[in-house]
Amino acid sequence: MSEVHSEQLLAEVAALPSLPGVYRYFDAAGGVLYVGKARNLKRRVASYFQKNHGGTRIGHMIGKIARMETTVVRSEAEALLLENNLIKTLKPRYNILFRDDKSYPYLKITGVRDRDGSDGLTPASIPRLAYYRGATDRRHRYYGPYPSAWAVKESIQLLQKVFKLRTCEDTVYGNRTRPCLLYQIKRCSGPCVGHVAPADYAHDVANAEAFLRGETQQVLAELEARMMQHAERLEFEQAAELRNRMSALSRVLHQQSVEIVDDKDVDILAVKVQGGKACVNLAMVRGGRHLGDRAYFPAHVEDASLLQQDAADDDAQAGDAAQEGALVPSVERQVLEAFIAQHYIEAPAPATLVLGEVVARELIEAIAQQSAQRVTAVFQPRSQRRLWLEMAQKNADIQMARLLAEEGSQQARTRALVDALELAPDDLAQFRIECFDISHTAGEATQASCVVFEDHAMQNREYRRYNIEGITPGDDYAAMRQVLMRRYGKIAEAMAAEAQAPAPGDGGGADAPAGTVGARMPDLVLVDGGKGQVSMAREVFVQLGLPLSLIVGVEKGEGRKVGLEELVFADGREKVYLGRDSAALMLVAQIRDEAHRFAITGMRAKRAKVRVGGSQLEDIPGVGPKRRARLLQRFGGIRGVAAASIEDLASVDGIARDLAEEIYRALH
């Protein structure tokens, strides 16, 4: 393999130290190919260039390596954390990669630190329950994370039924003159109008927190003690109220199957690998309650597993394996280790992990170091833990079966469209479609959308919106011309420069235009429209020197009925009607509808910004999207924000006093 690499690269490999570290491989365009770690950088990296991998997939990757970077670290744990931080950041092509998901939601109880109810029934002294997602604040307490928003909201409803804590915003709470509907249906004790003593409300908050920590028996004992005290004082109504709460809590514990076990916070991880795909199912137990599951599907499983297998073989030959079983790691183990390393870099790790596969001890130690607490991994669970793992494994199996069924259907649709258009792509998975749509309201806030379909799925990270300017309002043809020129103009220049470049070794040649590295033309360009839009696209492609066979218009059928669409071609071919039940038409409709949805949402957001004046907030330093959304939600729009006092602005989560003053000055 060494003959295809530069002398400089091979010299860098030879000069590497025999120390632990992390290495990164890059291709000629600067794209990241692979990130790996090694106990011995010199031996591990050199093995890639010394072995003959032939025409294998590993050999294909190694042949692309044009540059490398390395970082020496002090320990294997440090290497593991750095490796997975880089994987999440750089998203290499040949690593097992778990897609970044939204941050986990939490249940928040506001302002509860050192509160005993002695300062009355002010909003600051009466904590409330809230759904929360984002950075934490030391003034409040957070419970979770929860696997879904539904799990948080269900827990809030449960706490309302049993402990009757408020959920209303402080601005609503501070302006109540009579209790709301939640008080009437016995979901709130009505602190806003003084229907509960501050000390009693503080007791309820403490019990709710104890319940969330899993201390259910202590909560029941405390409620029983308070009930007996009221009974001894002949306060039978208050005693009956506490009795009803105990009954409600007992029913909840029975319905939720809460187990009285030593485990309070546990994550259960099961993995399923099939057909080149993998699924990791994460089940969460918090406070002894099973909160639900979330399935994760990593990318690049096959390529990464081959590379990791190769690394393990090298370590085995060198006698450098850390433990028995690490010599030939299964794909399941590789996937699970990748998930644990990448997931717990950001999400807090619980004290106990119940795992369906044995993973490296160094990995658990690194996660414990990252979380600043002891983390125990259980591989052969018993009793309740075994039941949890069996349930997680069953859910992983179900999710994998669903994924394979969906992907099989989507692949069939891609194949049907390729056959219908008489195309012959080299790789069906790499068949790329880009679809455009124009959206506006009477010419206002015109936007064009471009959505991308590749690898049998919509690639929403590659979606783009284009603000259309300098045209007659409502001229969809001019808008289409502008977006196609902006989308493909530089790519066409790069293709022309590449065609004019001399053969390798001749010197000279034109440089590719900036911004085109790694970009490529799609295999099909869908335009939402008939002959008019297709004609405009044809003019653009003729001007740019691009093949007209790429352009296909989606013309609505008679009466604009779904299923009667026809395909219109820019290269002069006759229209094609695929048929109402055609799998190819289903794919075309899916992509066209996604382009329309993406354009509509962007246009509406732009129009709202123009009409409401949201840009006034955007221009204020320190007010980002999250704070802007909180302000607009709290005060009902920019006019409400402008009418708010500095004190009102400072009451919004995330808005400090000095920032509130800055906002007030900017809007006045």
Does residue 408 form part of some domain? no
Alpha carbon distance 167, 211 (integer Å): 17
CATH number for 466: 3.30.420.340
Element of type H or E holding 452:
strand 444-454
Reported as a pLDDT band with limits 50, 70 and 90, residue 517 is: very low
Does residue 171 form part of some domain? yes
pLDDT at 651 over 90: no
Three-state secondary-structure class, residue 536: helix
DSSP 95-154: S-BPPP-PPPPEEEETT-TT--STT-S-GGGS-BEEEE-S---TTSEEE---SSHHHHHH
Mean pLDDT of the 426-449 span: 82
Low-confidence winner among 35-39, 190-194, 308-312, 545-549 (lowest mean pLDDT): 308-312
What is residue 245's predicted lDDT score, i.e. its pLDDT? Answer: 76
Low-confidence winner among 320-329, 407-416, 514-523 (lowest mean pLDDT): 320-329
Reported as a pLDDT band with limits 50, 70 and 90, residue 495 is: confident
507-525 as b/e: b if 16+ CB within 10 A: eeeeebbeebeeeebbbbb
What is residue 453's predicted lDDT score, i.e. its pLDDT? Answer: 94
CATH number for 650: 1.10.150.20
Same structural domain, 152 and 215: yes
Reported as a pLDDT band with limits 50, 70 and 90, residue 240 is: confident
What is residue 314's predicted lDDT score, i.e. its pLDDT? Answer: 60
Alpha carbon distance 302, 412 (integer Å): 22
Does residue 202 form part of some domain? yes
Same structural domain, 454 and 545: yes
pLDDT at 208 over 80: yes
pLDDT at 256 over 70: no
CATH number for 69: 3.40.1440.10
Q: At what angle do helices 57-64 and 301-318 cross, to 10 degrees?
A: 90
Alpha carbon distance 543, 287 (integer Å): 65
How many CA within 13 A on the CB side of residue 43? 17
Reported as a pLDDT band with limits 50, 70 and 90, residue 3 is: low
Q: What is the rounded (10 degree) CA torsion for 323, 327, 328, 330?
A: 30
Is 276:405 a contact under the CB 8 Å cutoff?
Answer: no
Same structural domain, 69 and 131: no
The alpha helices in 319-382, defined as continuous H runs, are 331-343, 361-371
Q: At what angle do helices 198-212 and 149-163 cross, to 10 degrees?
A: 140
Strand order in the sheet with 352-355: 289-296, 277-286, 266-274, 352-355, 376-378
Element of type H or E holding 544:
helix 531-544
Same structural domain, 464 and 484: yes
Task: Enter the pTM of the model.
Answer: 0.63
- Token reading at 499: 């065609």
Element of type H or E holding 24:
strand 21-26
pLDDT at 531 over 80: yes
Phi (first) and psi of residue 354, to 5 degrees = -100, 115
Is 480:534 a contact under the CB 8 Å cutoff?
Answer: no
The residues facing 132 across adjacent strands are 106
Same structural domain, 202 and 303: no
- Token reading at 244: 């009803």
pLDDT at 494 over 90: no
DSSP 215-231: -HHHHHHHHHHHHHHHH
Is 640:616 a contact under the CB 8 Å cutoff?
Answer: no
Does residue 89 form part of some domain? no
**Residue range 285-318, pLDDT digits in tens:** 887 778 888 898 888 887 777 777 666 666 656 5
Does residue 277 form part of some domain? yes
Read off the DSSP letter of residue 174.
Answer: T
Q: Quick check: bond before 145 cis, omega within 30?
A: yes
What is residue 632's predicted lDDT score, i.e. its pLDDT? Answer: 79
Same structural domain, 448 and 571: yes
Mean residue pLDDT across the chain: 81
CATH number for 357: 3.30.420
Low-confidence winner among 444-453, 538-547, 560-569 (lowest mean pLDDT): 560-569
pLDDT at 282 over 90: yes
Of 61, 76, 91, the residue that ends a domain is 76
pLDDT at 324 over 70: no
Of 224, 255, 286, the residue that ends a domain is 255
Same structural domain, 248 and 272: no
Alpha carbon distance 282, 350 (integer Å): 12
**Residue range 164-180, pLDDT digits in tens:** 899 988 888 888 888 88
Alpha carbon distance 651, 331 (integer Å): 51
Mean pLDDT of the 505-513 span: 51
Please name the amino acid found at residue 480.
M
Of 545, 569, 585, the residue that ends a domain is 585
The sign of the CA dihedral 619, 624, 627, 629 is positive
Domain that holds residue 369: 266-401
Alpha carbon distance 282, 292 (integer Å): 8
Does residue 101 form part of some domain? no
- Token reading at 557: 């059928």
Going by C-alpha positions, the residue among 638, 517, 575 that lies closest to residue 66 is 517
Same structural domain, 224 and 351: no
pLDDT at 327 over 80: no
What is residue 27's predicted lDDT score, i.e. its pLDDT? Answer: 87
DSSP 241-292: HHHHHHHHHHHHHHHTT----S-SSEEEEEEEEETTEEEEEEEEEETTEEEE
- Token reading at 59: 């050999």
Same structural domain, 72 and 112: no
Q: At what angle do helices 76-90 and 361-371 cross, to 10 degrees?
A: 80
Does residue 261 form part of some domain? no
Same structural domain, 329 and 213: no
pLDDT above 70 coverage of the chain, percent: 84
pLDDT at 580 over 60: yes
Same structural domain, 465 and 542: yes
Using CB atoms within 10 Å of the CB of residue 180, give its burial: 0 to 12 exposed, 13 to 18 middle, 19+ buried: middle
**Residue range 24-77, pLDDT digits in tens:** 999 888 889 999 888 888 888 888 887 776 666 678 888 888 889 999 988 877
Report the largest interatomic distance among the alpha carbons of the chain, rounded to a whole angstrom.
102
Read off the DSSP letter of residue 521.
Answer: -
Same structural domain, 129 and 186: yes
Alpha carbon distance 188, 163 (integer Å): 8
Does residue 176 form part of some domain? yes
The count of domains in the chain is 5
pLDDT at 260 over 60: no
